[in-house]
């Protein structure tokens, strides 16, 4: 994943590339190298909207000047919450705080 991801990142001149890997979590490739982020989901009921949640959370965090690594980890937490719900769901900041504090 790193080899092909790095080629894609370089070819597209991206600052970072985040690859979602289903139950294997995510891989972030940026100028610092590769960061594998394990999945945070405790129970998976429905994956509907998980990718959208990742994109939205990552976008909000990076737009708020959060670094790529922290943004990707935050997106991973949010996705882990959403897949634990049935159907198309949202995640709240309260849910994210609770999930992060339970580590």
Q: Which two tokens stand for residue 11?
A: 């070819």
Bridge partners for 34 per DSSP = 29
Measured between alpha carbons, how far is 57 from 62 in angstroms, rounded to an integer?
Answer: 9
Residues acting as catalytic residues? 52
Query: Cβ of 94: how many Cβ atoms within 10 Å?
Result: 8
For the chain, how long is the longest CA-to-CA vector?
Answer: 39
């Amino acid at each position: 994943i790193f080899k092909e991801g790095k080629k894609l990142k370089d070819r597209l001149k991206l600052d970072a590339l985040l690859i979602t890997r289903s139950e294997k979590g995510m891989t972030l490739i940026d100028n610092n190298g590769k960061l594998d982020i394990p999945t945070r989901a405790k129970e998976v009921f429905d994956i509907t909207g998980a990718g959208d949640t990742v994109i939205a959370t990552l976008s909000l965090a990076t737009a708020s000047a959060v670094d790529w690594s922290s943004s990707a980890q935050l997106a991973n937490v949010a996705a882990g919450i959403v897949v634990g719900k049935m159907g198309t769901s949202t995640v709240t900041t309260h849910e994210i705080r609770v999930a992060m504090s339970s580590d």
